[in-house]
């Protein structure tokens, strides 16, 4: 059995946990870095990326998050979580966790009032997925090993690179758990490889 953690410093933690549980997988809210040892995959939820970074630093999570990534364990960043995973952020000299070969732009769809929903085709996931965009970033550039999974109005809004998955929107705010289920499969595959 696998266990998936949700980084529980800020953001839509409960909704992600509900979505993981809807995929019949055990979910845990990760509030201490030691808990990362107990989980096979990790979701970095939406929220406010600057606030999340402050809390990551305050609770000394960064070295543990980088170690988690280098151990080959899957990570899924949604909205602010996507920003945390990116190696390059427009207007910033330093990345956060910086494990995914993408360049992202924060708040690229406008402010809170410009939040919207769109039906997206997501490769391997769904022909039509109800995506909720709230002060969403988007992927400006993707490295050669990054697979683009979805675009909205020609902007890249979902991508995967190896064990890393990222999206601009909030899949946890809908009753459609197919993107979470896709991540669950990534975690199962990664764990199976580690057991070999």
Q: Which residues are catalytic?
A: 79, 170, 172
Q: How far apart are CA 165 and CA 162, in angstroms?
A: 8
SS3 percent helix, strand, coil of the chain, rounded to 5, is: 35, 35, 35
User: Is residue 51 within 8 Å of 11, Cβ to Cβ?
Assistant: no
Residues 73, 37: contact at Cβ < 8 Å?
A: no
Do the Cβ atoms of 91 and 60 come closer than 8 Å? no
Q: How far is CA 37 from the centre of its chain?
A: 19
Q: Are 117 and 128 in contact (CB under 8 A)?
A: no
- 37: left (phi > 0), else alpha (psi -120 to 50), else beta? alpha
């Amino acid at each position: 059995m696998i266990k998936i953690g949700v980084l529980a410093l800020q953001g839509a933690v409960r909704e992600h946990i509900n979505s993981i549980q809807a995929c019949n997988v055990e979910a845990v809210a990760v509030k201490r870095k030691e808990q990362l040892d107990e989980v096979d995959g990790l979701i970095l939820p939406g929220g406010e990326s600057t606030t999340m970074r402050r809390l990551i630093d305050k609770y000394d999570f960064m070295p543990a998050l980088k170690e988690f990534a280098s151990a080959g364990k899957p990570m899924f960043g949604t909205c602010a979580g996507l920003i945390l995973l990116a190696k390059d952020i427009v207007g910033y000299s330093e990345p956060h966790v910086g494990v995914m070969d993408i360049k992202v732009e924060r708040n690229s769809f406008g402010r809170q009032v410009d939040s919207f929903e769109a039906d997206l085709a997501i490769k391997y996931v769904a022909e039509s997925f109800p995506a909720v965009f709230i002060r969403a970033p988007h992927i400006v550039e993707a490295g050669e090993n990054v697979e683009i999974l979805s675009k909205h109005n020609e902007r890249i809004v979902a991508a995967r690179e190896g064990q890393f998955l990222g999206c601009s929107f909030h899949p946890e705010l809908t009753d459609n758990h197919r993107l979470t289920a896709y991540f669950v499969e990534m975690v199962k595959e990664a764990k199976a490889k580690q057991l070999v």
